[in-house]
Amino acid sequence: MNKDTEKVIVFIDAQCVLCDFLSKVILWADKKDYFRIASLTGETYRMLAQNPQPPNQLQYVEVYSHGRWFDGPMAIFEILRTLGFPYSIFLVFKLLPTKINWFLYRYVAKKRFAWFGRKEICSLESSQNLKKILP
């Protein structure tokens, strides 16, 4: 198995400004080199996903962690758990009913382009953390 696939891989919508911000926060906070970032439309996603689907409007982040897939709010919770303290404080939201977490996730996913905008090109390639960016 490739060393990068042993990391926690966060797949993002590369056109989403909110997703871009999320990936930059993850890379900044990842002091122990746990994470890799890739696009939901990229080669790494197509290679790992069993039946890769093109990203839809409600999909902006998925996580592949040690052979398991997480999507929606569960992906966000896996990121927070892996980052550890102080970010793991936000895991308190797991106490909410799953339906509420999914409602909030879908609401933000649906509104993210209106609120934050859309990018024509992904800024990850210009990141100073190129070794953490997967194709």
Distance CA 71, CA 77 (A): 10
| Residue 93 CB partners (closer than 8 Å, separation 6+) | 73, 77, 101
Choice between 16 and 79, residue whose per-residue pLDDT is larger = 79
Q: For 98-115, how does the pLDDT look when each residue is reduced to its tens digit (9 = 90+)? A: 999 999 988 988 888 788
Upper half-sphere CA count for residue 73 (Cβ side, 13 Å):
19
Residue 131: how many CB atoms within 10 A of its CB? 10
Q: What is the pLDDT of residues 22-73, one digit of tens each?
A: 888 898 999 999 999 998 888 888 888 776 555 555 577 899 998 899 989 9
Q: pTM of the full predicted structure? A: 0.82
